Structure formats: C-alpha cells, structure tokens
C-alpha cells in the first residue's frame, strides 16, 4: 500500500526516461506537450511525490525557507509564518522555524544550522534582523535573506517594511479631525527604530496642523503595558489633562486604558486612546482599541516572494530591492470626538 513511489516508476509507466520526468516536474522547457501530459498522468495515477532530500542533494535547492526570531510577540511570529507559508507552499517550499537566543552565542546557534540545512533563504524578524552577528554568519555562508522592518543598515540587504511615519501621521490626523488639539504621545523603546519613526509621524502631523507639541505631553515608554500604565499616571495626574493619548503601541495603550478606568475617566467621552500594532489584546478590552494594523502576513509574503523570485542583489550594484507596504488605520471605539 505504502511502498515508496520513485521517479523510476513514473518513468516506466509513461515510457520515458527519468530525466524527462524530472524535466516535467521542474517545469523545464523543451518537453513536447504530449510527453508532458503523459508524464503528468502517470504522476497523478501513481500519486508520486519527489523526495525532497534527494532533490536537494542532487540539485542546488533545498526547498526550505528559514524564519528566525527571538523573544517575539507571539501574534507577530504566527502572522509571519502564515504569510510566508502562503507564498511558499504553492512552490513546494517549506518553513523551518528557528527561535534564537540573542543573549547566548548566536553564531553557535545559526552557523551549524545553516551548514547542515543549506536553506534557500531566511526571513529575519525584529530584533534579529538587526543583529550584526546573525547577518555576518548569513553573509559568510552565502545564504540569501530578507529582513522585516529593519532599523538600520538598510542598504545591506533586501527588506520589507511598513511606513511607520505615515501611519503615526494618519493616526494623529485622525485624532485632530475628531477635534482634539491637546494630544499626548507615549514613545516606545528608544532602541527600536520604529519608536522614533512613530514619534516623527506624530510630530509632523501636529506641526502641519498648526498644533504645538507640549513637552510635558510627551512621555517616554518602553513598549510594555507597565510603562504605558506609568506614563498615563503622569499624563493624567491633575486637572490639566490631554483629551487624547496616542501610545505608540497597543500594550502601552492598554496601560493607558487601565489607568483611565481606575481614574473613572470615560473612554472615549472624556479621553480618547489610540494604539499601534493591532495586537490581539486590542479587541479584548472595552471599549476596543483604535489602532494601526501592520500588514504582517502580507509583509512576510512579500519577503518570501523576494526570496523565491531570487533577485536579491540589486541590479548592477544598486541597492538591494525593498518593499514598502501599506498600513491600515483600524478605528474602533476608544477614540471619539473631543469633549467640549
């Protein structure tokens, strides 16, 4: 019942050589249409599937794409995997996931794996995508890679990212359009490039709409719930309060919501709250959070696409290709018209 079917069986059944079967399987040119059909019938009849080990041993492809991450937001990782698989599966590629421990000896984790697996490409998520050690090993082993939302060294490799500045700009504009003039901002972890970009978008929107950014309305956060909570405690102390708070990620925004609840400030009647990222938690509060959705699956799919289409070098020494994807403003119930 389960005897392994090899390419020889297909060749015999369709009366051609194994090489021709191989040609059909790999969509190589120079096969007569009639032959091709006959082979494909045999493949279907025998339910033949090429053995991936033999393929990669004989040929140059491993049919494996790696996904590296470290201490990730689970939702992010899952989305990356789903997006990448979507593009890979149709072409017979599979996904190898490799959690890394940046605290430890990354080289020792990455190098053996690259040497044994000979993957066709790797997708790097933050913060691994900015780890010089990882990039060095990849370069040394000659494994192509695409980075997702890298912070620096953008010319070093192909990458895919979202326009954080524009997204933060739009969110701020959304609040302004609702009538808010006194909009506070909670910054993210200064080591993350996105934190700066988001602040820039906020500042730009304020400036372009003729609104001043009061220094005491900008708080430093660390992208954590707790840091959002503490920032909100400061921002909302006393009578002179902003009418809206834009936290540069959802976890911090949820911290703001918690403080608002505690202080009995109604959201959004008294205080509007906006987040960034559209994490699962954004829908698991009441009222649900207005936020920005990163097209993570699409970004991962784009990364896989760059890897599979194989033009990562950039024509003639030009910068490697990159893609900028559109964000989506998700307006839910936590933002509303400014009071008064």
Among residues 131, 95, 93, the alpha carbon closest in space to that of 110 is found at 131
Q: Where are the alpha helices (DSSP H) in 90-192?
A: 106-117, 132-141, 164-177
Structure-token pair, residue 318: 């030009």
Q: Using alpha carbons only, how large is the chain's radius of gyration in Å?
A: 25
Work out what residue 272 binds among DNA, a second copy, none; the CB cut-off runs from 5 to 8 Å by kind: none
Output 117 or 203, the one with its CB closest to a second copy. Answer: 117
Work out what residue 79 binds among DNA, a second copy, none; the CB cut-off runs from 5 to 8 Å by kind: a second copy
Output 23 or 187, the one with its CB closest to DNA. Answer: 23
Output 48 or 246, the one with its CB closest to DNA. Answer: 48
The CB-of-132 to a second copy minimum distance in angstroms stands at 19
Q: Which residue has the tokens 């020889």?
A: 8
Work out what residue 78 binds among a second copy, DNA, none; the CB cut-off runs from 5 to 8 Å by kind: a second copy
The CB-of-39 to DNA minimum distance in angstroms stands at 9
Work out what residue 309 binds among DNA, a second copy, none; the CB cut-off runs from 5 to 8 Å by kind: none
Q: Where are the alpha helices (DSSP H) in 59-105?
A: 74-89
**Cα–Cα distances in angstroms (integers) from residue 256 to residues 31, 36, 40, 228, 279, in the given order:** 65, 63, 60, 6, 15
Binding site for DNA (CB under 7 A): 4, 6-8, 15-23, 25-26, 29-32, 34-35, 48-51, 54-55, 57-60
Phi, psi for 333 (deg, rounded to 5): -95, -5
Distance linking the first and last C-alpha atoms of the chain: 76
Helix (H, G, I), strand (E, B) or coil at 151: coil
The CB-of-52 to DNA minimum distance in angstroms stands at 8
Q: Is residue 323 within 8 Å of 147, Cβ to Cβ?
A: no
The CB-of-6 to DNA minimum distance in angstroms stands at 3
> Tell me, what DSSP letter sits at residue 277?
B
Output 4 or 264, the one with its CB closest to DNA. Answer: 4
Output 51 or 261, the one with its CB closest to DNA. Answer: 51
The CB-of-8 to DNA minimum distance in angstroms stands at 6
Work out what residue 32 binds among a second copy, DNA, none; the CB cut-off runs from 5 to 8 Å by kind: DNA
């Amino acid at each position: 019942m389960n005897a392994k079917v090899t390419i020889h069986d297909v060749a015999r059944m369709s009366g051609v050589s194994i090489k021709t079967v191989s040609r059909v399987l790999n969509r190589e040119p120079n096969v007569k249409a009639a032959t091709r059909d006959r082979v494909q019938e045999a493949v279907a009849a025998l339910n033949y599937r090429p053995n991936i080990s033999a393929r990669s041993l004989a040929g140059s492809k491993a049919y494996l794409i790696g996904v590296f991450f470290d201490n990730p937001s689970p939702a992010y990782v899952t989305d990356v995997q789903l997006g990448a698989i979507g593009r890979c599966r149709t072409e017979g590629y599979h996904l190898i996931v490799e959690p890394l421990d940046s605290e430890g000896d990354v080289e020792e984790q990455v190098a053996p794996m690259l040497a044994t697996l000979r993957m066709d490409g790797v997708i790097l998520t933050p913060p691994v995508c900015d780890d010089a050690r990882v990039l060095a090993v990849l370069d040394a082993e000659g494994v192509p890679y695409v980075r997702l939302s890298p912070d620096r060294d953008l010319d070093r490799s192909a990458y895919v990212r979202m326009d954080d500045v524009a997204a933060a700009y739009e969110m701020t504009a959304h609040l302004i359009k609702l009538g808010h003039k006194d909009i506070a901002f909670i910054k993210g972890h200064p080591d993350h490039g996105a934190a700066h970009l988001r602040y820039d978008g906020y500042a730009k929107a304020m400036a372009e709409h003729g609104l001043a950014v009061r220094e005491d309305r900008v708080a430093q956060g660390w992208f954590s719930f707790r840091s959002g909570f503490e920032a909100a405690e400061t921002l909302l102390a006393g009578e002179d309060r902003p009418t809206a708070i834009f936290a540069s990620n959802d976890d911090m925004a949820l911290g703001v919501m918690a403080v608002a609840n505690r202080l009995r400030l109604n959201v959004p009647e008294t205080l509007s709250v906006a987040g960034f990222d559209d994490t699962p938690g954004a829908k698991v509060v009441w009222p649900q959070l207005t936020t920005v959705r990163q097209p993570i699956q699409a970004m991962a799919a784009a990364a896989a696409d760059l890897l599979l289409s194989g033009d990562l070098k950039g024509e003639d020494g030009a910068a490697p290709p990159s893609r900028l994807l559109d964000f989506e403003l998700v307006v839910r119930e936590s933002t509303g018209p400014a009071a008064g």
